[in-house]
Amino acid sequence: MFQTFTLETIAVPEGNLRVRHGGSGPPLLLVHGHPRTHTTWWRVAPLLAEHFTVICPDLPGFGRSYQPAEAPDHANSSKRAKAKALVALMRRLGHRRFAVAGHDRGAYAAFRLAMDHPDRVTRLAILDAVPIGEALARCDARFAASWWHWFFFAVADKPERAILADPVAWYGGSAEAMGSDNHADFLAAIRDPAVVQGMLEDYRAGLGIDRAHDDADRAAGRRLACPLLVLWSLKDDLEALYGDVVGIWRPWVGGDLSGHGIDSGHHMAEEAPEQLAAALKAHFLG
């Protein structure tokens, strides 16, 4: 994986982040989702590195990056805190302004980064997500049946015990589908009790403080200042749940907005890397 990339551990004020970076051109930050690590991008990053300096970190709480300190309101695992750490990472790498793409839980961190730091983000791509506040406001029986894990993961202690009893049975995944090195990195993460707790804290923050941040922005009329591309997996359930995915994002965007489906399952970076890389390249090259 990442044969021409550099693997580093970089200190930010909150702790250490594991990151791979490579390529040349304008900086592009790729933010993975749950339960993956940055290695989920291994098929996409080299395709983008022909045009961009690509930076792929493990999110705080995930993989081999730092574990946020516990707090009663889960603020240290909030997307606002993670966005602040990512800005610090990019500054350490010499990038003041940059483009961002985020998938799944990483999409929420990417969205918060663009909302809280509009002077930093040139363009944004959101993969398989609508704002947390929008998702919870639309929560119905279909949502609860499909995304029940949002609520189970927010319960104290029990989800850690359930997952760690058999992480492979819980999460699935295979070397054949994911690539052997990516799969090995994923297995190391989901078998680590600290990482499992860190990933669950991300969900606990989502139902509380993250939603509060979204709701406050919406009430104040704050919008994304940069162009937004929204992509979703046609073989997953985002379109089935929300219908007009782009329409849900429209009130959040002050500038250009576009979007379309990708012919893949949920982990599009692993399942449809060429199609995803082409869509991201077209958006980020403007």
Are 231 and 262 in contact by the 8 Å Cβ rule? The answer is yes
Instruction: Say what the pLDDT of residue 253 is.
Output: 97
pLDDT band at 286 (very low <50, low <70, confident <90, very high): confident
Q: How many CB atoms lie within 10 A of CB 274?
A: 10
The residues annotated as belonging to the active site are 104, 266
| Number of domains observed in the structure of the chain | 1
pLDDT digits over 43-83, tens only? Answer: 999 999 999 999 999 999 999 999 999 999 999 999 999 99
CB neighbour list of residue 254: distance below 8 Å, 6 or more residues apart? 223, 224, 225
pLDDT band at 131 (very low <50, low <70, confident <90, very high): very high
Token pair 């947390």 in the structure block, residue: 132
1 in any annotated domain: no
Q: Given a cut of 90, is residue 208 above it in pLDDT?
A: yes
What pTM does this model have?
Answer: 0.97
DSSP 60-86: TTSTTSPPPPP-TT-GGGSHHHHHHHH
pLDDT band at 164 (very low <50, low <70, confident <90, very high): very high
Q: Which domain holds residue 35?
A: 6-284
Instruction: Say what the pLDDT of residue 159 is.
Output: 98
CATH assignment of the domain containing 274: 3.40.50.1820
222 in any annotated domain: yes
